[in-house]
Amino acid sequence: SWGWRVPFWASVAVAVVGYVIRRTLQETPAFTRQATTEGVVKLPLGVLFRDHWADVLRVVAGALIASVSTIFTVWALAYGTSDAVGLSRTQMLWVGALANVVALGAIPAWATLSDRIGRRPVYLIGAAGSAVLMTAYLWAISTGSYALVMLFGILAFGVVYSAANGVWPSFYGEMFSTRVRLSGMAIGTQIGFAVAGFAVTFAARIAGPDGDDWSAVALFTAALCVPPVIAVLTARETHEVPTEQLGERPRDEAVRRTTVAA
């Protein structure tokens, strides 16, 4: 009977903590100033899709990088423990556990690096690198060599994927102005994450009747990394842009510069 009670009460606890934090957390100074001088947007979705539709699409495309996580944690685990490979479930779970331990240090390290060299190059390393390292990881599983599986698993998920995972909250959020940042982040990421959630289903279908066509799944995973790469290449760099100027359209930026110059 405890099988469902523990997850239920854990979810309730998370919801309560989230509610308390949101009710007590102060707004950013930029949002407070904007709300005081211009007021809060009454129809943020209208402003969002009128002025920031391209950035919403970028966030949707970028959020597909979550497919790497679902393929790594679900499909690769099933493949590695299948009769075709023969690794034990314990061995495969240790790969994921150690990769996550490495990620605990890699994520803040990549995030700190993005403050120095920019969001775009760090995110690009994560997106493009994941396409390459996930291919190597699935190949390593196919060999049945636990040493190779551990090595490429940690590199793929613990190190390289952490580059995108550590920078996307700031990278996506900084695409939008203060007035619509929450709406842009929420809509863009949830659409992208929802699509990424079906990656395992498609991977299982293209892996063939025996579920052992790792190369097809590797190509599929690499293809899912292409939209995030396109998103980052078409986005502007924001790590040195003042908070008040984030999400400005070219016309708004030109008006602001003219006003400052005058």
Separation between Cα atoms, residue 159 and residue 99, nearest integer Å: 8
Nearest alpha-carbon partner for 69 in 212, 182, 197: 197
Percent of residues in the chain assigned helix, strand, coil, to nearest 5:
80, 0, 20
This prediction has a pTM of 0.80
User: Given this model, what pLDDT does residue 1 score?
Assistant: 45
Q: Residue 3 burial by CB count (10 A; 0-12/13-18/19+): exposed, middle or buried?
A: exposed
CB 195 within 8 A of CB 64: yes
pLDDT digits (tens, 9 = 90+) for 159-187: 999 999 999 999 998 888 877 888 888 89
Q: Encoding tokens for residue 251?
A: 């016309």
| Helix or strand (DSSP H, E) at 17 | helix 2-24
Least confident of 30-39, 162-171, 194-203: 30-39
- pLDDT interval class at 239 (50, 70, 90): confident
Q: Helix, strand or coil for residue 40?
A: coil
The one-letter code for the residue type at 66 is A
Q: Which residue would you say has higher pLDDT here, 59 or 31?
A: 59
Q: Helix, strand or coil for residue 106?
A: helix
Res. 38: pLDDT tops 60: no
| Tokens 């190597």 sit on residue | 136
CA distances from residue 26 to 32, 172, 174, 181, 259 in whole angstroms, order as listed: 9, 21, 19, 16, 30
Q: Span 246-255, mean pLDDT?
A: 55
Provide the percentage of residues in the chain whose pLDDT is more than 70: 82
Instruction: Characterise 111 by phi-psi region: left (phi > 0), alpha (psi -120 to 50), beta (else).
Output: alpha
CA distances from residue 244 to 105, 116, 159, 258 in whole angstroms, order as listed: 31, 20, 33, 16
Q: Encoding tokens for residue 64?
A: 């597909």
Res. 251: pLDDT tops 70: no
User: Given this model, what pLDDT does residue 47 score?
Assistant: 77
User: Given this model, what pLDDT does residue 29 score?
Assistant: 65
Q: Span 9-17, mean pLDDT?
A: 79
Q: What is the mean pLDDT of the chain?
A: 85
Res. 154: pLDDT tops 90: yes
Nearest alpha-carbon partner for 135 in 49, 214, 20, 29: 214
Separation between Cα atoms, residue 64 and residue 176, nearest integer Å: 19
User: Given this model, what pLDDT does residue 64 score?
Assistant: 96
Rounded to 5°, angle at Cα 142 from 139 and 148: 65
Separation between Cα atoms, residue 177 and residue 180, nearest integer Å: 6
User: Given this model, what pLDDT does residue 12 score?
Assistant: 79
- pLDDT interval class at 98 (50, 70, 90): very high
CB 130 within 8 A of CB 164: yes
